[in-house]
Structure 1
Amino acid sequence: MNHLNADLHCHSSVSDGTLSPEALAARAKANGVQLWALTDHDEVGGQQRAREAALALGLPYLTGTEISVTFAGETVHIVGLGFDPEDATLVEGLRRTRGGRELRAREMADDLARAGIPGAYEGALKYVGNPDLISRTHFARYLVEIGVCRDTQEVFRNYLTEGRPGYVPHRWATLGDAVRWITGAGGIAVIAHPGRYKFTANEEYALFSEFKEHGGRGVEVVTGSHSSQDYVKYADAAREFGLLASRGSDFHSPCESHTDLGALPPLAGHLSPVWAALEDRIHRPA
């Protein structure tokens, strides 16, 4: 069960990925993925397309999303898996979360213009599949296009991060909101890539503790941005907090992502995989 090649975290052009849900399904299948979820940011608009494409390819599918929350002054991502994508409370919560992005994007563009880079809002829009979900990634692609930086990594070293031109913080949902929306829709909430957050040990302990108190049940142990040390650290955290373990590449684009769909090492054998608890929520080919 732990050696199942499950990839339960990736993004399509419905949020900030570059491939369509259908192209991602085909890539997942070609790469040997055995259980797949599309987890677009604050959005479930690609779910039906992803599910239909996966099932047509004989690939089992779990519904997914990745919700942005603010915790201890940081943006934290909570993945939801196996929920009803038509649940009214979840859909409305995601709509409200997306709603703040356009205003933030316009403020980012104004700040970049003051730094001598005009037209960034219109430039970023060219890369957006869904204007509600304009994000820093779309601005980064535009800055690469016009030659300000060589690649998106260089953009994030010099722009769009705290203390640099173009950075505008966003107030997201709360941790409790995100977990309740997911669990209320019949799914399981998972802390995404905990190794990426700049938390102290005490702040990280508070995140895990509060997440559990709200009803969160899982944590990504093996994910594209984690090191081998992170795999061990968050396997231990999963055991310590009694959380299910998840696995996902966080794939966005063939050109930008370090880890391809289906290319991660398996979960350690002593962990309880999140998909075992979602067996009855997996959509399987007829």
Structure 2
Amino acid sequence: MKIDLHCHTRASDGTLTPSDLVARALNQQVEILAITDHDTVAGLAEARQAAQGSRLQLISGVEISTRWHSFDIHIIGLNFDPDDVPLNRLLDRHGQWRISRAEAIAAKLAKRGIDGTLEQAMGYADGGSVGRSHFARVLQERGLVTAKQAAFDKYLGRGQSAYVSNQWCSVAEAIHAIEQAGGLAVLAHPSKYQLSNKWLRKLLVEFKVAGGRAMEAIHCQQNTQQRQFLLALAQEYELLISAGSDFHFPSRWVELGRGLHRPPQPGVWDHLGWDHQ
């Protein structure tokens, strides 16, 4: 069974519409899909309509940005009520902060002689959740960097001239909002935070104490050793496993459902009824 419980649409920083992403998932023979846009559920209604009558089992999802010590940690919510008022209040707060941060980033870039980036970044967001990746696209399109990652390394990343410190909620607050909305909280891509083994274990302890129940251990871009390490951590901390591509746009390296077959180890798919469609 092919699953993908982490992907993005144009409602945040993906390039495909929710309908197009559902069509691509079907083409890739994905059977269970969660669209997890950053700090918004705006794409879920369109995705549900696109998936109606198909073999695709679509569940509600979101990826909530949080602050943890000096790190940006992402918490995925799965199978929650997308109309839950407290959860949407939190997401709205994050959405407003994203706009304020975008304005601050644009002002910092303007001080470096790079004008007009806010309008262009908001245009790329197209009414969706605006983020640093949209500014990275602006800088790449203008030829100021050769790749999006270079935009973070030179301008947008921590310690760089256009970096704006975050005002996200805490890990515990995100988990509480997801759980209260009837969902399950998952620690997203633990390998991407570049944490030492000590700090990763500290994060897993605090995540679980706060009510987190699962962690992403299976990605389409990992070798056997990396996957086994994460699966072992999940077992050690008694966390369910989840699997996701973190798909944002079509590429040679990341694809919906690629390498995300269900392993024998207990996963979120064994503990959810997929009720919140």
What TM-score results when the alignment is normalised by the length of structure 2? 0.94
Instruction: Give how far 1:55 is off.
Output: 2.6
Partner of 2:245: 249
Which residue of the other structure, out of 181, 184, 195, is the alignment partner of 1:185? Answer: 181
In 1: Cα distance, 2:74 partner to 2:228 partner: 20
Percent same amino acid among aligned pairs?
39
Report the count of equivalent residues: 277
Decide whether the 8 Å contact of 1:15 with 1:41 is kept in 2.
yes
- The one of 135, 138, 147 equivalent to 1:139 is 135
Q: Paired residue for 2:275? A: 281
Q: Residue type matched to 1:58 in 2?
A: R
- Equivalent-residue separation in structure 1 for 2:197 and 2:32 (angstroms): 33
SS at match of 1:105: helix
- For the 8 Å contact 2:81–2:276, the answer to whether it is kept is no
Whether the 8 Å CA contact 1:55–1:61 is kept in 2: the answer is no
Deviates more, 1:220-229 or 1:137-146: 220-229
- Is 1:72 the counterpart of 2:72 in the alignment? no
**Is 1:86–2:83 an aligned residue pair?**
yes
Is contact 1:124–1:138 with CA below 8 Å preserved after alignment?
yes
Q: Equivalences for 1:1-286 in 2 at 5 Å?
A: 4-130=1-127, 133-224=129-220, 226-255=222-251, 258-269=253-264, 271-281=265-275, 283=277
Q: Is the 8 A contact 1:15 1:129 kept in 2?
A: no
8 Å Cα contact 2:244-2:260 kept in structure 1: no
SS at structure 2 position matched to 1:239:
helix
SS of the residue 2:87 aligns to:
helix
* SS across alignment from 2:125: coil
Q: For residue 163 of structure 1, report the CA deviation from its aligned partner.
A: 2.4
Listed one character per residue, the Cα deviations across residues 21-45 of structure 1 (whole Å, up to 9, x for unaligned) are 0000000010010101110111111
With structure 1 as the length reference, what TM-score do the two structures score?
0.92
Shift in Å at residue 237 of structure 1? 0.9
Supply the distance in 2 between the matched residues of 1:243 and 1:50 (Cα, whole angstroms): 29
Partners of 1:94 and 1:13 in 2: CA distance: 16
Please give the secondary structure, in 1, of the residue aligned with 2:14. coil
How far apart, in 2, do the equivalents of 1:172 and 1:225 lie?
Answer: 27
Output one character per residue of 1:116-175: Cα deviation in whole Å (capped at 9) or x when no partner: 2111111211201225x2111100111111111222133223221122232112120111
CA–CA distance in structure 2, aligned partners of residues 280 and 161 of structure 1: 37
Structure-2 separation of matches of 1:172 and 1:205: 22
Q: Which consecutive residues of structure 1, in runs of 5 or more, have no partner in the other structure?
A: none
3-state SS, counterpart of residue 165 of structure 2: coil
CA contact (8 A) 1:68 1:173 kept: yes
Separation (CA, whole Å) in 2 of partners of 1:282 and 1:180: 17
- 1:252: how far off? 0.6
Q: Which deviates further from its counterpart, 115-124 or 81-90?
A: 115-124
Indicate conservation of the 8 Å contact 1:69/1:175, yes or no: yes
Take 1:57 and 1:24, find their aligned partners in 2: how far apart are those partners?
14
Aligned to 1:100, what secondary structure does the other structure show? helix
Q: CA RMSD in A?
A: 1.7
Write the distance in 1 (CA, Å) between the matches of 2:12 and 2:223. 26
